[in-house]
């Protein structure tokens, strides 16, 4: 692949990434969104995170893995509980790491 193709690919990816972000910004600048829309948008980040995270927790080797041997699924449960209870980013990371470490030590 020559340098021109690489440069055009990078520029094309930049445009495709930039345009969807700038169009709503320009269309909505100076306008006040209704409260229901603002409340609904607050659910978008957790929904996207859940959509990305759930398959990695319940699928292993292309098969549904909801069983006792799925250590990451079991580690996710106290991690989610710690996140909800503490509303902190650091504590759930520590809880998840600790559960995985203990699980690996006990299961190996």
> Do 26 and 43 sit in the same domain of this protein?
no
> Do 89 and 45 sit in the same domain of this protein?
yes
pLDDT in tens, 51-75: 999 998 998 888 888 888 888 888 9
> Do 26 and 50 sit in the same domain of this protein?
no
Q: How far is CA 52 from the centre of its chain?
A: 5
Q: What is the reported pLDDT for 62?
A: 82
> Do 68 and 21 sit in the same domain of this protein?
no
Residue 108 reports pLDDT greater than 80: no
> Do 102 and 79 sit in the same domain of this protein?
yes
> Do 50 and 97 sit in the same domain of this protein?
yes
Residue 107 reports pLDDT greater than 80: no
> Do 46 and 92 sit in the same domain of this protein?
yes
> Do 42 and 17 sit in the same domain of this protein?
no
Query: CA 78 to CA 76: how far, in whole Å?
Result: 6
> Do 42 and 22 sit in the same domain of this protein?
no
> Do 64 and 14 sit in the same domain of this protein?
no
> Do 27 and 38 sit in the same domain of this protein?
no
> Do 52 and 13 sit in the same domain of this protein?
no
Predicted model pTM: 0.61
Residue 106 reports pLDDT greater than 90: no
Number of separate domains in the chain: 2
User: What mean pLDDT is reported for the chain?
Assistant: 91
- Residue 17 is part of which domain span? 1-31
Residue 17 reports pLDDT greater than 90: yes
Q: What is the reported pLDDT for 43?
A: 94
DSSP structure string for 69-98 = T-HHHHHHHHHHHHHHHH--SHHHHHHHHH
């Amino acid at each position: 692949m020559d340098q021109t193709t690489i440069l055009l690919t990078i520029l094309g990816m930049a445009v495709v990434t930039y345009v969807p972000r700038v169009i709503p910004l320009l269309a909505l600048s100076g306008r006040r969104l209704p409260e229901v829309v603002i409340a609904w948008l607050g659910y978008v980040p957790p929904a996207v995170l859940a959509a990305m995270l759930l398959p990695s927790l319940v699928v292993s080797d292309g098969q549904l893995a909801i069983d006792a041997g799925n250590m990451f699924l079991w580690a996710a449960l106290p991690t989610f509980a710690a996140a909800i209870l503490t509303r902190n980013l650091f504590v759930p990371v520590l809880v998840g790491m600790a559960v995985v470490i203990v699980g690996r030590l006990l299961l190996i």
